[in-house]
Amino acid sequence: MRDESRDFLFRLLEAAGPSNYEAEAARVWRAEAEGFCAAVTADVNGNAIARLRDDAAEGAPKVLLTGHIDEIGLIVTHLNDNGTLAFRGIGGWDPQVLVGQRVRVLARGGALTGVVGRKAIHLLRGEDRDRAVKLEDLWIDLGFAKKEETAGRVRVGDPAVIDAKPVLLENGLIASRALDDRCCAFIALEALRLLAEGDAPYADVYAAATVQEEITMRGARTVAAALAPDVAIALDVTHASDRPGVSAEEVGEHGCGSGAAINRGSVSNEALVDLLIATAEREGLAYTLEAAGGRSGTDADALVVTGKGWRAASSRSPAATCTPRSRSSASPTWTPAASWPPPSARSARRPISPPLTVLSGEC
């Protein structure tokens, strides 16, 4: 990975952007896109959209790469009399990981640092010592002693995120909050960067950093409705099967750094799955296969039911920690979609029916 690309990824990961509050992260993404894309815009929901070039041939297929930019977070639900904050989750949380975490509350007057507390285990009795913690057992402590102090700085509805910077681990791994799914919003834009550095693609290519995937998938719906792409590739994350206690029989065999996991079934279109597989094999890029009998759990689930309804395909790759090597090798996997349809089909200029094909690529 190039230094400038790594710097962009880290800036994107450091920005706060829980679902429905993605403005800070979206600004980072748009600023990077403005360096090499013909047009960069934002819609009313907060989606950031980049168009590679504005001189595509008439009738060229429109290709969209998406990665959602929102992250799971917390939201303040009550100001307690003792100055602490009650909260609930934005998106799905395992409450166990929150205990003792430092958090950043995104208040109107500026971010405030706090810690997540719970009743000390020394004071728990009976079954309470053994049961899993729930969100309602936790609070955020900002250091205030009274509700009146807190009320001057925090309002009900203020969001919060874990306050942790990305770190480099051994063997090139990155650990960070918001890898789901900033790493794939990053990949979508890096694919456009690669296309901008080469020959102009046949297709009219867009990338979108979508919002609210963790709660409603509303961002993907509005992007698809506005752009009406012929092909869409939704990028997201999946489970790494090479970590303790994770069964490949349950999640598929996708070790960290094993490349894109190409999803078959559910919303996946087999012709485009075959295109991705053929591309990876031709270019010598690592990939695995993942099966989904129902929802893909990605923006593709929204893309395929927007407008007239669309054909779809999906692929994923593992990231709880992620490796820059797999991130940088993933972008070339998606760029051949910009050459779609193949040259033999271009002269006929046959319409696609239905008009959109979606690849949900999880990175």
**Antiparallel, parallel or unpaired: β 231-238 and 62-68:** parallel
**Closest among 22, 14, 29 to 70, alpha carbons compared:** 22
| Residue 4 is among the residues annotated as catalytic for this protein | no
| Residue 321 CB coordination number (10 Å) | 17
> What is the end-to-end Cα distance of the chain in Å, rounded?
15
Contact, 91 vs 20, CB < 8 A?
Answer: no
| From 32, 213, 214, 290, active-site residue | 213
**Using alpha carbons only, what angle is made at residue 329 by residues 237 and 356, rounded to the nearest 5 degrees?**
60
- Length of the chain equals 363
Q: Which residues share a beta bridge with 359?
A: 233, 313
Token pair listed for 167: 């770190």
Bond from prior residue into 354 cis (ω within 30 degrees of 0): yes
Residues 6+ apart with CB under 8 A from 274: none
Give me the DSSP letters along 241-296.
TTSTT--HHHH-S--TTS-EEEEEETT--HHHHHHHHHHHHHHT--EEEEEESS--
CA distances from 162 to 87, 158, 167 (A): 13, 14, 14
CA distances from 226 to 42, 130, 211, 229, 345 (A): 12, 51, 15, 9, 26
Give me the DSSP letters along 152-209.
TT--TT-EEEE----EE-GGG-EE-TTHHHHHHHHHHHHHHHHHHHSSPPSSEEEEEE
Contact, 333 vs 281, CB < 8 A?
Answer: no
Give the residue numbers marked as catalytic: 213
